[in-house]
Amino acid sequence: MRRQAKPPPSFPALVQAFFVEHLTQQRAVSPRTVAAYRDAFMLFLGFAEARLGRSPAQLTLPDITPDLIMAFLDHLERDRHNSVRSRNARLAALRSFLKFAAHRDVSSLQVIEHALG
pLDDT tens-digit map of 30-71 = 999 999 999 999 999 999 999 999 999 999 999 999 999 999
| CA 94 to the chain's CA centroid | 4
pLDDT value at 29 more than 90: yes
> Residue 7 pLDDT more than 80?
no
Residue 1 has pLDDT above 60, yes or no: no
CATH 1.20.120 fits 11-116, yes or no: no
Neighbours of 103 (CB within 10 A): 10
Percent of the chain with pLDDT over 70: 96
Rounded to two decimals, the pTM is 0.87
Q: What is the largest CA-CA distance in the chain?
A: 58
